[in-house]
Chain A
């Protein structure tokens, strides 16, 4: 199903992680401002010439970008620009869609992800995902958070209790729910709490990268603010990629922003990627400027 540039895969395996630091590969010339602080970090994940097809239809065309470790990359752009589809390459959720096909290279710590011999289960433990609609399981709060570790075989009661508490604390939910994590169902929480529960559930699997697909779009403004604060805190530990329709949100939380647009062939493509401040205040591309100033999208 997957076509990748095979010749560089064995090479990459041989290179040590420090040397695997890839040169910035940005489609739009000059988009990588030399002053952008995040751009100097080690690339945690990177995509090279990634195109995504649904059957014969091209959904995302030739995207190349990378995300430095412990930074937040926001993907913005109008509907149909392929942001979510592109996001789902990084934990291979596109595998679940019949007929979906990804070409090009996607790497985590320099290791190719799209190869047939990559364990998708292992990958998804390293790259967690928070969905647009909060989707807790119909189980207790505790069982929701313990779900991932248990599937990996964790069973020590004391360690699990600690892990659940730690994850809920990191997700800023512990104080609100600590008295009835066993009694209350995850579904009985409010929308904002449910989304933080979903974040806690991801944190419990101890991922390295967290993908967020419009995590606040179904939430009220106050819950949104809390989730955004949480993202800023998580950035200290994790590498985060967030898809958002909300440009203010991208401006508030992200270090770098990538603007996607839908081309005339209805395929999404990367227009411009830059330090968030630069992209919003001084974009290089006219399309980006039109979009961030609200003229379309």
Chain B
């Protein structure tokens, strides 16, 4: 056999191996993807099946009860209320901080350490955040357990996360678009407002969804800040936000659905612990889904509005 023939065979062997490697990689990645999707689907199907027997309007909107199954209405309300309150604090501040860090602060040792701190704080164990919140927002302020205290505790790790994600979203906007705007005689702020922000909105919405998910799911940080009392008999007609008996007041205890799931399971009282856990979990999943889809939808509308005029 000639040298040329040998080398040809060798290279065809290598090509064969490359094709096999390609197929194996495709199969492995496909399999992993399918596994993740199955896991996710399994969780959803499990909670839907587990709660379908007793899921009803009275469970979703009714008051909790010691003797009967009761409902989780006030807790669901508190979860949404807490989300809105925490987001009202974290989103505007996070976006402004992100704009500053991305467009104005520059890259130096100080900003590098700020970025490092943002990432570090947002991953502090939430029970630590809860204990800090107990000192700062419950005791020092003399507020007691309040929705505001809970929201501020959540802000401790949500704001840095939000700021970091916004900064990344803004930085990902191509330099070409910025140059085009500046070269047309737009000012820096006009460029940020009309070109950079609209292009960054999908990334900012991702940031909002990630932080919102943590608010929905958080229990440990809220135990000692928003309280674990079981709320009943909310009077939604009382719109006075300064009245601590009004469910609209931020300065009242606000046990959320996640905290309630933890509470019923850890106390283990009553015979409906299992149902409450399953039903509340299904409700949380549905709420998160509705929130995420809604956030994407609003983000798309906002992008259109911002780029139009």
Contact = CB atoms under 8 A, between A and B. Distances in A.
Given A135-B177, A151-B190, A93 B307 contact: no
Given A139-B307, A139-B308, A133 B184 contact: no
B108 to A, nearest CB: 11
A147 B183 contact: no
B-side interface mostly: helix
Interface string B60-93: 0000000000000000000000000000000000
A164 to B, nearest CB: 14
A147 B176 contact: no
Which of A123, A135, A150 counts the most B-chain CB atoms under 10 A from its CB? A135
Contacts of B307: 137-139, 143
B181 interface: yes
A138 B194 CA distance: 11
A152 B186 CA distance: 8
A202 interface: yes
Interface in B166-186: 174, 176-177, 179-186
A148 B106 CA distance: 27
Interface in B285-309: 307-309
Interface in A58-110: 91, 93, 96, 98
A273 interface: no
A138 B199 contact: yes
B185 A201 contact: no
B195 interface: yes
A143 B183 contact: no
A121 B187 contact: yes
A152 B307 CA distance: 16
A152 B185 CA distance: 8
A205 B180 CA distance: 13
A256 interface: no
A133 B176 contact: yes
Contacts, number: 67
B179 A135 contact: yes
Given A139-B308, A143-B308, A147-B194, A128 B186 contact: no
B185 A122 contact: yes
A174 interface: no
A135 B180 contact: yes
A198 B309 CA distance: 18
Contact of A131 (B180, B185, B198): B180
A148 B185 contact: yes
A129 B187 CA distance: 15
Nearest to B191: A151
A281 B309 CA distance: 51
Contacts of B177: 135, 137
Contacts of A137: 177, 180-181, 195, 307
Contacts of A91: 183
Contact of A128 (B183, B190, B194, B308): B183
Contacts of B309: 143, 150
Nearest to B188: A121
Contacts of A139: 307-308
Contacts of A122: 185
A98 B308 CA distance: 32
A170 interface: no
Nearest to B303: A138
A211 to B, nearest CB: 8
Given A137-B307, A138-B307, A143-B307, A151 B184 contact: yes
Interface string A109-146: 00000000000011111001101010111111001000
A147 B179 contact: no
B186 A121 contact: yes
A198 B307 CA distance: 17
Interface in A198-214: 198, 201-202, 205
A124 B185 CA distance: 5
B199 to A, nearest CB: 7
A148 B195 CA distance: 12
A208 B278 CA distance: 70
B184 A93 contact: no
A197 B209 CA distance: 36
A143 B308 CA distance: 7
Contact of A205 (B179, B184, B308): B184
Contacts of A135: 174, 176-177, 179-180
Interface string B135-146: 000000000000
B307 to A, nearest CB: 4
Contacts of B106: 98
Contacts of B190: 151
A125 B179 contact: no
Contacts of B176: 131, 133, 135
Contacts of A138: 198-199, 307
Contacts of B186: 121, 147-148, 151
Contacts of A140: 308
A138 B196 CA distance: 11
Interface of B: 106, 174, 176-177, 179-187, 190, 194-195, 198-199, 307-309
Interface of A: 91, 93, 96, 98, 121-125, 128-129, 131, 133, 135-140, 143, 147-148, 150-152, 198, 201-202, 205
7 contacts: A125-B184, A133-B176, A135-B174, A140-B308, A147-B194, A148-B185, A151-B187
Given A138-B198, A152-B185, 8 more contacts: A93-B182, A128-B184, A133-B176, A135-B180, A137-B307, A143-B308, A150-B309, A198-B180
